[in-house]
């Protein structure tokens, strides 16, 4: 479902940016691979954006970019239309804090996908409206 949503957003909203993030590079790449399979089924030849190693460029100018799970390497994106965080319960707070400002400029959507993993990290506080400082 997440891969479908990523592909749908990029396909239906021209010049949009969808960012896929997870605690590991392999996990984000797997989500991108599934989205690519859906795009290929629609007759769109897959190609990267020429800048990001794990990316998919659409004919309408939209992109899907899969990011590795380190806060030092995810910065630099803005006006993100959809940020999808896989295994959110296992993501470190500082990575979450590095990713979420990407949504502010474009008033993007945030999808947190995960199974529970104890009372830890930002995911346990999501319902508390707690500010992450």
Q: Is the pLDDT of residue 90 over 90?
A: no
Q: Give the pLDDT of residue 77.
A: 85
Class for the domain spanning 2-120: alpha beta
DSSP 29-80: HHHHHHHHHHHHHTTPPP---SS-SSEEE-TTS-EEEEE-S-TTTS-S--S-
Question: Other CB atoms closer than 10 Å to residue 10's CB: what's the count?
Answer: 26
Q: pLDDT tens for residues 23-72? A: 888 888 899 999 999 999 989 888 988 888 899 999 999 999 998 777 77
Q: Identify the band that residue 20 occupies on the pLDDT scale cut at 50, 70 and 90.
A: very high
For the chain, what are the domain ranges?
2-120
Exposed, middle or buried: residue 127 (CB in 10 Å: 0-12, 13-18, 19+)? Answer: exposed
Summary mean pLDDT of the chain:
83
Let me know: does 60 contact 87? Beta carbons within 8 Å: no
pTM score of the predicted model? 0.82
Over residues 69-87, the pLDDT tens digits come to 777 777 788 889 999 988 8
């Amino acid at each position: 479902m997440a891969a479908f949503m990523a592909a749908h957003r990029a396909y239906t909203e021209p010049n949009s940016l969808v960012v896929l993030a997870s605690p590991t590079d392999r996990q984000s790449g797997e989500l991108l691979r599934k989205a690519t399979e859906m795009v290929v089924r629609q007759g769109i030849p897959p190609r990267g954006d020429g800048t990001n190693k794990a990316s998919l460029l659409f004919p309408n100018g939209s992109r899907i970019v899969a990011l590795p799970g380190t806060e030092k390497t995810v910065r630099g994106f803005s006006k993100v239309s959809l940020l999808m965080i896989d295994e959110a319960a296992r993501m470190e707070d500082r990575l979450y804090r590095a990713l979420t400002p990407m949504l502010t400029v474009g008033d993007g959507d945030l999808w947190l996908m995960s199974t529970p993993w104890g009372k830890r990290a930002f995911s346990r506080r999501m319902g508390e409206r707690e500010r992450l400082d």
